[in-house]
Structure formats: C-alpha cells, structure tokens
Amino acid sequence: MIEKTVDTYWARIYIAGPIDIAKQIIRRECMIEGLCVTITPTDYIYTGGEEAGIVVELVNYPRFPKDPGQIWERAVNLAHDLRDDMYQHSVMVMSPTQTVWFSTREENK
C-alpha cells in the first residue's frame, strides 16, 4: 500500500455552458500534465436570468502534488480555456483565499 499526504488546497472554476464540452476541454488539459479535477453541474440564477453551468474543482491530489501557486495558475489557465472554447464572456476562479472574475464584455471594463 502506498500512502502520500499533501497540504490541502483547492481552486474552483465557475462558468456557464454545457458540461459535455467542458469535459472534453478538461480531458485535454489532464493529458498535458497530471491533474485531478472534479466537475459538477450547477444552475446559475442571477438578476434577470438563469442558465446552466458547471463548477470545476482542482485539488492538490497526492499523486500529482503541487504548491498552491501552481494549482491557482493551472486553474486560471483552464478557466480561460473553458471561457474561450465554450464561447462564454466570463468565468470566475475561487480559492480559499481569493476570488477573481474575468470578463471579456466591453461594458465590464
């Protein structure tokens, strides 16, 4: 039996769009370098609307240990890939210590 322990850290990506497309994008990313990701369908309800989306969580998986900065950077890069490849205008990335919202909408600049 193998036992490995790492410090706990996670980064979550919140984005609207179809889960099946997101899974393909995430699979591609996982093949580039070891990564452990969960993906959960969710519904976003906001002022004036509602849409289906996903929450993607990257964790510090002991098989592929990383420091928090590496996990955060990987989450931000994956968030941008998801936003672009799922044709969304915005995406949010959250960790235990920070939340960043990225938008390509002109009115949000």
Distance CA 43, CA 52 (A): 4
Task: Choose among 9, 27, 17, 28: nearest CA to 97.
Answer: 9
Within the chain, how many helices (H) and strands (E) appear? 2, 5
Give residue 108's pLDDT: 64
Give residue 106's pLDDT: 79
Domain ranges of the chain: 10-108
Distance CA 20, CA 78 (A): 15
Give residue 34's pLDDT: 78
Pair 91, 15: CB distance under 8 Å: yes
Task: Give the torsion through C-alpha atoms of 79, 85, 89, 94, to 10 deg.
Answer: -10
Between 68-85 and 19-32, two packed helices, what is the crossing angle to 10 degrees? 140
Q: Pick out the chain residues at pLDDT < 50.
A: none
Give residue 33's pLDDT: 82
Q: What is the CATH number of domain 10-108?
A: 3.30.70
